[in-house]
Amino acid sequence: MSLLVNLQLKVKPGQVPDLLETFKGILPG
């Protein structure tokens, strides 16, 4: 899960929705 933490630390607040969409595309379900 450290990868997720690193991404969260590097992501700006405005990029959160886009990041969630990326995870939805990567993760099953």
Digitized pLDDT (tens) for each residue of the chain, 29 residues in all: 577 777 767 766 666 777 778 778 877 75
With contact defined as beta carbons under 8 Å apart, do 19 and 11 qualify? Answer: yes
Position 11 scores a pLDDT of 65
With contact defined as beta carbons under 8 Å apart, do 7 and 19 qualify? Answer: yes
Q: How far does CA 6 lie from the centroid of its chain?
A: 9
Q: Residue 29 and residue 15: Cα distance in Å, rounded? A: 21
Amino acid at the residue 7: L
Q: What is the pTM of this model?
A: 0.32
Q: Which of 27, 18, 29 is nearest to 10 (CA)?
A: 18
Instruction: Return the structure tokens found at 17.
Output: 């929705």
Position 13 scores a pLDDT of 67
